[in-house]
Amino acid sequence: MSENRWEGIDEFVAVAECSQFTAAAERLGVSSSHISRQVVRLEERLQTRLLYRSTRRVTLTEAGQTFLQHCQRLQDGREEALRAVGDLTSEPKGMLRMTCAVAYGERFIVPLVTRFMSLYPQLRVDIELSNRPLDLVHEGLDLAIRLGRLQDSRLVATRLAPRRMYLCASPSYLERYGRPHSLSELSRHNCLIGSSDIWQLELDGREFSQRVQGNWRCNSGQAVLDAALQGVGLCQLPDYYVLEHLQDGTLVSLLDAHQPPNTAVWALYPQQRHLSPKVRKLVDYLKQGLAERPEYRDL
């Protein structure tokens, strides 16, 4: 194809979708003769017949059907590119619906979103805090903040912050029951169980799942932390729960060689949302805001 490789594509798609030259001309606001001329030139450049023509109707050849699919994708990509350039200078506005886990959202995400809204008065936000992972597409959500490892590959993911898991206990517990020195010794200890009785650890350079047991369970990270501080048992919790207690000595980190590989805090959003100003700018704002928090400065 020559330097005019784009000529005729819009005309061909219009004819294929309308099944008539006249209707295609009306859609594009040009004459039927212009449409016909452009499609003929396109076929000549391709050296392939794309359309079967009759007095009443136009139908696609097999080559035309294949070419139409590619041309429609080209048109979609072109429109997306034009919107993206326009959105670069657009301010966030309208409704943004998002979700996050309850405790992390209350402590870290919601305060940042509230500050973000003060910068963009035309933006409205609906935040659903839930420990149940909501389906973004089904629920009509623009954004989700997820912790740990990602499962849904249909979504675009941006890493917002690190997330490190610590196995620890209070000095009073260790004085009474001793300090575990290997994974096999965990079975001798009272393990505080949160939302799962499976702890993630590292063994021989690989992630290892360890089922634990104990006489205490609650699906609240804060409750697990409180029980650990009171000397009830061992716990495994993310950095933002325990770092200040590790620093002041009210908790002791255990089995550091088996600390699981870093997971992360993620922003997830459907593919079609990733160029939206309200999503893109909020994700950037969250990433910067989390990086400034003391819990993440040394991670």
| Position with higher pLDDT, 133 vs 49 | 49
pLDDT tops 90 at residue 276 = no
Q: Where are the domains of the chain?
A: 7-83, 92-161+262-294, 164-256
User: From residue 60, how far is each of 42, 63, 75, 246 by CA, in Å?
Assistant: 14, 8, 18, 70
Q: Is there a shared CATH topology between the 7-83 domain and the 92-161+262-294 domain?
A: no
pLDDT at 289: 96
Q: Which of 176, 282, 288, 279 is nearest to 232 (CA)?
A: 176
Contact 7, 41 (CB under 8 A): yes
The pLDDT > 70 percentage for the chain reads 92
Q: Return the DSSP state at 54.
A: -
The CATH number of the domain covering residues in 7-83: 1.10.10.10
Contacts of 52 by beta carbon, 8 Å cutoff, 6+ apart: 58, 59, 60, 61
- CATH fourth-level superfamily of 92-161+262-294: Periplasmic binding protein-like II (3.40.190.10)
Residue 32's CB is within 10 A of a number of other CB atoms, namely 15
Check: pTM over 0.95? Answer yes or no.
no
Q: Which of 160, 161, 158 is nearest to 273 (CA)?
A: 158
Contact 152, 144 (CB under 8 A): no
CATH classification number, 164-256, choose in 3.90.1660.10, 3.30.930.10, 1.10.760.10, 3.40.190.290: 3.40.190.290
Which residue(s) pair with 144 in the sheet?
99, 268
Summarised one tens digit per residue, pLDDT across range 10-37 is: 999 999 989 889 999 998 999 999 999 9
